[in-house]
Amino acid sequence: MSKDLLARDAWSGDHFSQEVKTGMTELAAILTQCRDTIFTVSFKKKVDLSDIEANLKKINLKDAKSIKSLQKSVTEGENCEITGYLSNVENDLGRSLVIDLNVQGKSPFRQVDHRTINWIIFKNVKYSLGKKSTQEDLPLKADSADNKWDTSKLQLKNWFSSTAYYRVNSITDKNNAVVSEKK
């Protein structure tokens, strides 16, 4: 596939040309608008009891750094990134069911809690949690009139979508890339 065709016609789940700071409610609203367009979301996973037990076994009670790390792992959960597309939305501040395109062999369905989202890359714009935007409407696509993303940043295993989902398998030369289609 021509890299120019990818850059002109396909949205990237990995590349972004601008970053917008938003509030948590806006991030949840953006996630619900993703539908079948590819995106990448970073969020905090649910705290898992087995992880807490493993951390308790490793902790040194005399080390303040170790105790602080345990506190963080008990209350926050670890960071997780998913590149995929939206399958189902429960409600604005609930959970969304996302199909993870990078999963091999097991079920690709993952739940994302809207309250724990750190950032979303959607239609080549990165929306990150921060001071609420002063803009009335958030841009839901990149400003670029030509290419949707920079072809010089293309890497193996990047994901794109237009009418289907494509994963970059190899880069043949400066003009072409070999992609596979995920059904």
pLDDT class for 142, splitting at 50, 70, 90? low
As a whole-number percent, the residues of the chain with pLDDT over 70 amount to 89
In whole angstroms, give the CA distance from residue 59 to residue 56. 5
**Angle, CA 84 vertex, CA 83 and CA 86 arms, to 5°:** 135
Q: Which helix (H) or strand (E) holds 26?
A: helix 24-33
| Contact call for residues 116 and 44 (beta carbons, < 8 A) | yes
Region 22-29 average pLDDT: 90
- The backbone region for 35, taken as left when phi is positive above 0, alpha when psi lies in -120 to 50, beta otherwise, is left
The structural domain count of the chain equals: 1
The gap from C-alpha 157 to its chain's centroid, in whole angstroms, comes to 14
Q: Give the pLDDT of residue 50.
A: 78
Range scoring the smallest mean pLDDT among 8-12, 23-27, 67-71, 104-108: 67-71
pTM of the model: 0.78
pLDDT tens digits, one per residue of 75-131: 777 889 999 999 998 875 589 999 999 998 889 999 999 989 999 999 989 999 998
**Domain span holding position 13:** 3-182
* H/E stretch holding 58: helix 49-58
